[in-house]
Structures are given as C-alpha cells and as structure tokens.
C-alpha cells in the first residue's frame, strides 16, 4: 500500500493534483480504497486538456459546412405509409426491437429529490414518468404479441434509488435481468476554475455523469449490446426519461430505416419559433448532425424557404433508432466534451466544506448527437409535436410538469 501511495503521489504531483490525498488519513479504510481506485481510473491527460478548453471556449460553428437535412413527414407519406408500417411491424413482431431509456441525468432544473423517472407529474393516477413510459412500452408490445426488452441507463448517483423504485413497483410487470436491465453510465471528475479536481463532502472525488453521449460506450462496456444480440435484437430505440409522450415503438420509423437501408433514424418535430431552445437536425460536412441552439447563428435560425418554413426547423427531440452495429461503432470512438459551469459544494485543500453562492466548477458532458457524424446517413421522420413531445425539464413555466401534464391529458383524452 505504502509503495502504491508513493506512486500515486508522484502521478498527482505531475498533474498538480496533490490535494486529492490531503485528507486521506482521515478516511475509513473502505473510502481510502475507493479514492485510490478513483485516482487510478482518472485519465489525467484528458482532464488537463478539458481544463485547457475551459480557458478558450468557442461556440461558433468553426469551418463546418452546414446544410439542411432531408426528412420524411409522417403526415405526408401517402401510399408509402402502409409499406413502411408493414416492414416495421414485421421487425417488431419478430422481436428485433429493444428500447433504451436514458435516466442518468441529474435533473437539476426540475429540482426533484430523487431520480427524474420517479417524478409524479400530477396526473390523477399519480403515475411516475417511469410508469408512464412502461405503460406505453407494454401496450405496444402487447399489440405486436411481444415483450419489448427495456434497458435503463442510470448514473452512479441515482442507480440504487432507481433500481429500488422499480423493485418497489415490481418492475411494472417486467422481469429483472430477463426483459428489463439496468446499467450505469460513465463519469468524469468535476474541476474548479484552476483546473483542480474537486473532493466532495464524502471525502471522495466529485464525479458527475458524462452526459447522454455516454450512452453508446455504456451500452457496449456494460455488455448490453451483447445481451441485445443474444435476445435477437437488431434495432434499438434510445430516448430520454423525461418525455411523457415518447413513442418508443414506432413501426413507421423502423420501416423507413430498414427500407432505406440506413443504420439510424431520428424523429423531429417542427421548431416552434426561431428562438426555441432546441437543437435542429442538419447535415454537417455531408454527415447527419444536430446544431445546438447555443451554436446556431441568428441568420441561420431565422432563414425560411419560399413557403415561409424554417430551413433549419427539424428539432431533435432525443428520439432515435439505431442498429446495434452503429451503436458499437459510435461507442468505440471518444466524443467531444461540452462544458457546463455548475454550482458544486466541495471540500477545500484545508479540509473545509465550501458551499458556493454561484457556479464554481466545470462539469463535462458528451452529447448523444455528436456521434451522428459516424453514421453515413440517418433517416429523419417529422412527427407531430402534440403526439410525441411533452418534456419535463423545468419546475415551472415552459417544459414543466404542468405543460407536460396538459399535453398528456389532451393526447389521451383525459378530462
Ligand atoms: P437533459 O439534458 O435534459 O438533462 O437530459 P437532465 O439531467 O434531465 O436535466 P438538467 O439539465 O440537469 O436539468 C435529457 C435526457 O438525457 C438523460 C436525462 O436523464 C434525460 O433523460 N441524461 C442526461 C443521461 O442519461 N445522462 C446524462 O449524463 C445526462
């Protein structure tokens, strides 16, 4: 142990992170072990380069060639609608589809005490987001005579609470490790404005989930894609936990992907107005991509065609379908990290707890759509917002439990 610690100290010195062991002696044996493990697993070169990027943040679209993307409109498929639907239905009936729900986020804007999926949006039934999602998945499965396997991505922080919640609700009729599976996403340490890795109140390194872009790597590393293959699955729908109208089973989307021979498909809804804070699908250097709202220049966000429609108007709603090969390919390449400046309580180098008034720490997140550049092509299907998109993001106002509840009630005709 002594020798191991000396080696670790040398490594920490090299990266000016010696403070990580300041309180080592006062930790329990179990925590000491965990801290050393954490240090062992940190890619310090990556952390250093991430810190360097915080000192030079650009939000411009550099030299990328951005072009509008072609899309199918579900409302205007005419005779092809039936064709795509039949192709997709056949694939679903033959158990080729699995669903993944990304539930590893912190849900900071909502501010619910617990995993976001456990949140009750205030319907008369008091069903949680997880239950609303499971209702849809079970109902669709029944329609096609199958049980759609469900994979839930959690984070280290919310995994136990999530699994306990499901256990308490008897997995909503699913069977753990048979047709419902839980897996944890990756994490990265948070750093302060000097590039120092933060120690949390538990004496351990303060790590945070690495963004929804961590999904591909997490699916592969945790053996989930292997499991899917064993189940005979070929297509995987990946969606968020916080859209209570998400349609995880869509034969038309699947049918288009299969018929067009692409490895991925995504759903879009028409952007409500040029200022709406959503990313939009586009082609970037000839590949499918999403331009974030923070990144899109004003002229581009406002540009319209001859009919007055937004040229970049296909909002990405985190509803995408991939074949397993594409997931494995995307999971094998590192994604760029985006920087978020957050408020984080920590223990300083003298062992004092610091509760900041405002943001003080950088958190690094990969975005799922940054991997789309790995795909040759992607079929985009425009669907109706009021049928498929009711996100719960904020505690009040837009995209809040109140707006989601109303959309849900309207869609299901609940008084
Ligand atoms: P958001 O980007 O809206 O983040 O996630 P969030 O964590 O729910 O909320 P804020 O930003 O902290 O308020 C969109 C979807 O991606 C998942 C979320 O759980 C949600 O389903 N997600 C996000 C992850 O699974 N892991 C992450 O690291 C981030």
Atom number in ligand 1 closest to CA 155? 26
Nearest protein Cα to ligand 1, atom 23:
105
Phi, psi of 172 (to 5 degrees): 50, 35
Residue among 183, 166, 187, 184 at smallest CA distance from 175:
166
pLDDT score at 139: 97
| Residue for token pair 């340490």 | 189
Residue of 104, 105, 113, 207 best suited for mutating to test ligand 1, as the one with most atoms within 8 Å of CB: 105
Whose C-alpha lies nearest to ligand 1, atom 1? 105
> How many percent of the chain have pLDDT more than 90?
93
Residue 61 has pLDDT above 70, yes or no: no
Domain span at residue 214 reads 62-411
Residue 60 has pLDDT above 60, yes or no: no
Distance from the CA of 321 to the center of ligand 1, in angstroms?
18
Cα angle 169, 172, 174; round to 5: 125
Confidence of residue 9 (pLDDT cuts 50, 70, 90): very high
| Mean pLDDT of all residues in 130-159 | 97
Structure tokens at 262: 């692409």
Contact 316 CB / ligand 1 (< 6 Å)? no
Closest-CA residue, ligand 1 atom 7, reads: 105
Point out the ligand 1 atom lying closest to the alpha carbon of residue 153: 25
Is residue 308, in this structure, part of any structural domain at all?
yes
Give the dihedral sign, CA 323/325/326/332.
positive
**Interval 203-259: pLDDT, tens:** 999 999 999 999 999 999 999 999 999 999 999 999 999 999 999 999 999 999 999
Residue 394 belongs to some domain of the structure: yes
Relative to the CA of 242, which ligand 1 atom is closest? 21
- Burial status of residue 192 (CB atoms within 10 A of its CB: 0-12, 13-18, 19 or more): middle
Q: How far apart are CA 147 and CA 134, in angstroms?
A: 11
Domain membership flag for residue 17: no
Supply the pLDDT for residue 283: 96
Examine residue 271 and state whether it is found in any structural domain, yes or no.
yes
Average pLDDT over residues 76-95: 98
Extract the tokens encoding 189: 């340490």
Q: What is the pLDDT of residue 387?
A: 98
| 289 inside domain | yes
Q: From the DSSP assignment, how many helices (H) and strands (E) are in the chain?
A: 13, 18
CA of 105 to the centre of ligand 1 (A): 4
Count of domains observed in the chain? 1
Instruction: Give residue 149 CA to ligand 1 midpoint distance, Å.
Output: 22
Which residue's alpha carbon is at the smallest distance from atom 14 of ligand 1? Answer: 240
Residue nearest to atom 3 of ligand 1 (CA): 393
CATH code of the domain containing 313: 3.90.550.10
What is the share, in percent, of the chain residues with pLDDT greater than 70?
A: 99
Q: Is the CB of 108 under 6 A from ligand 1?
A: yes
- Report the nearest atom of ligand 1 relative to the CA of 241: 21
- pTM comes to 0.95
Q: Which residue has the tokens 């090969």?
A: 325
C-alpha–C-alpha distance, residues 198 and 353, integer Å? 11
Ligand 1 center–CA 242 separation, angstroms: 8
pLDDT tens across 379-406, in order? 999 999 999 999 999 999 999 999 999 9
- Whether the pLDDT of residue 62 is over 70: the answer is no
The pair of three-digit structure tokens given for residue 16, joined into one six-digit string: 């000016």
Distance of CA 194 from the midpoint of ligand 1 (Å): 26
Confidence label for 58 from pLDDT (cuts 50, 70 and 90): low
Average pLDDT over the chain, rounded to an integer: 95
Q: Using a 6 Å cutoff on CB, does residue 395 contact ligand 1?
A: no
Contact 359, 204 (CB under 8 A): no
* Ligand 1 lined by 391 (C-beta under 6 Å): no
Could you read off the pLDDT of 352-375 as tens digits, one per residue? 999 999 999 999 999 999 999 999
Going by alpha carbons, the residue nearest to atom 8 of ligand 1 is 107
Residue 142 lies in a domain: yes
Asked if residue 307 belongs to a domain, the reply is yes
Place of tokens 């299907």: 381
| Residue 21, domain member (yes or no) | no
Under a CB-based contact definition with an 8 Å cutoff, are residues 59 and 294 in contact? Answer: yes
Distance CA 339, CA 361 (A): 10
Token duo for residue 287: 């590949």
Q: What pLDDT does residue 299 have?
A: 94
Res 162 pLDDT > 80:
yes
Question: Which whole number is the average pLDDT over 124-138?
Answer: 98
C-alpha of residue 383 to centroid of ligand 1, in Å? 22
154 C-beta closer than 6 A to ligand 1: no
pLDDT at position 2 is 78
Calculate how far, in angstroms, residue 143's C-alpha sits from the geometric centre of ligand 1: 30
Q: Is the pLDDT of residue 59 over 80?
A: no
pLDDT confidence bin for 56, thresholds 50/70/90: confident
Query: What's the confidence (pLDDT) of residue 70?
Result: 97
338: β partners: 365
How far is residue 22 from each of residues 9, 26, 205, 284, 331, measured CA to CA in Å?
Answer: 11, 9, 12, 47, 36
Does residue 117 carry a pLDDT above 70?
A: yes
Q: How far is the CA of 387 from the centre of ligand 1 (A)?
A: 22
| For ligand 1, mutation pick of 184, 188, 240, 389 (most atoms within 8 Å of CB) | 240
- In this structure, what token pair is assigned to residue 147? 């049980």
| Ligand 1, atom 9: closest residue by C-alpha | 107
Question: In this structure, how many other beta carbons lie within 10 angstroms of the beta carbon of residue 384?
Answer: 14
Residue 341 binned pLDDT confidence (cut-offs 50, 70, 90): very high
Distance (Å, whole) CA 3 – CA 36: 13
Tokens of 4: 């191991």
């Amino acid at each position: 142990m002594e020798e191991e610690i000396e080696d670790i100290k040398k490594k920490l010195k090299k990266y000016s992170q010696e403070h990580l062991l300041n309180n080592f002696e006062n930790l329990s044996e179990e925590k000491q072990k965990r801290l050393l493990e954490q240090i062992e697993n940190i890619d310090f070169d990556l952390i250093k380069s991430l810190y360097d990027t915080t000192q030079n943040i650009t939000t411009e679209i550099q030299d990328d060639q951005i072009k509008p993307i072609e899309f199918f409109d579900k409302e205007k498929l005419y005779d092809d609608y039936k064709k795509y639907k039949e192709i997709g239905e056949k694939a679903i009936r033959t158990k080729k589809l699995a669903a993944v729900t990304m539930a590893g986020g912190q849900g900071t804007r909502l501010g619910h005490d617990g995993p976001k999926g456990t949140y009750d949006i205030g319907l008369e039934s008091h069903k949680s987001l997880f239950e609303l999602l499971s209702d849809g998945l079970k109902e669709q499965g029944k329609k096609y005579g199958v049980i759609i396997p469900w994979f839930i991505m959690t984070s280290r922080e919310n995994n136990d609470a999530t699994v306990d919640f499901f256990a308490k609700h008897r997995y909503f009729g699913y069977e753990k490790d048979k047709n419902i599976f839980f897996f944890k996403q990756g994490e990265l340490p948070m750093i302060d404005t000097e590039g120092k890795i933060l120690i949390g109140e538990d004496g351990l390194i303060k790590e945070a989930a690495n963004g929804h872009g961590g999904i591909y790597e997490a699916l592969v590393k945790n053996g989930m894609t292997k499991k899917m293959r064993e189940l005979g699955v070929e297509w995987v729908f990946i969606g968020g936990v916080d859209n209570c109208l998400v349609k995880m089973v869509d034969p038309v989307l699947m049918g288009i992907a299969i018929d067009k021979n692409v490895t991925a498909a995504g759903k879009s809804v028409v952007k409500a107005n040029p200022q709406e804070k959503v990313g939009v699908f586009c082609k970037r250097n000839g590949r499918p991509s999403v331009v974030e709202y923070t990144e899109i220049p004003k002229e581009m966000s406002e540009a319209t065609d001859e009919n007055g429609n937004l040229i970049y108007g296909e909002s990405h709603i985190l509803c995408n379908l991939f074949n397993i090969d594409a997931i494995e390919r995307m999971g094998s390449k590192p994604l760029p990290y985006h920087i978020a400046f957050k408020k984080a309580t920590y223990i300083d180098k003298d062992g004092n707890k610091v509760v900041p008034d405002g943001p003080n720490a950088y958190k690094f997140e990969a975005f799922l759509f940054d991997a789309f550049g790995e795909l040759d092509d992607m079929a985009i299907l425009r669907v109706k917002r009021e049928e498929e998109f009711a996100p719960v993001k904020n505690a009040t106002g837009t995209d809040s439990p109140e707006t989601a509840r109303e959309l849900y009630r309207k869609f299901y005709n609940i008084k």
